[in-house]
């Protein structure tokens, strides 16, 4: 949890306070509460669409290494 809290805190310092949307990892909820940020979960449809859009990027990266 400490890692996610530090990560979110660094994003707040760099980009300001915004609503956080995540995939449902329980550590994000607690980290957002500590940072006083609104936290919402993506629906399963949204997660599926994002994975589909990002899949070519991941495949390209795997081919490079």
The whole-number pLDDT of residue 64 equals 66
Is residue 35 within 8 A of residue 12, CB to CB? The reply is yes
pLDDT band at 29 (very low <50, low <70, confident <90, very high): confident
Residue 19 burial (CB < 10 Å; 0-12/13-18/19+)? exposed
CA dist list (Å): 55 to 28, 33, 47, 50, 58? 23, 31, 12, 8, 5
Lowest mean pLDDT among 4-8, 31-35, 56-60: 56-60
Lowest mean pLDDT among 20-29, 30-39, 44-53: 20-29
Q: Give the angle subtended at the CA of 14 by the CAs of 13 and 18, to the nearest 5°.
A: 75
Is residue 37 within 8 A of residue 19, CB to CB? The reply is yes
């Amino acid at each position: 949890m400490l890692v996610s809290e530090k990560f979110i805190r660094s994003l707040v310092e760099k980009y300001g306070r915004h609503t956080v949307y995540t995939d449902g990892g329980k550590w994000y909820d607690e980290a957002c509460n500590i940072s006083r940020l609104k936290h919402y979960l993506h629906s399963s449809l949204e997660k599926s669409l994002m994975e589909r859009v990002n899949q070519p990027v991941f495949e390209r990266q795997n081919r490079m290494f």
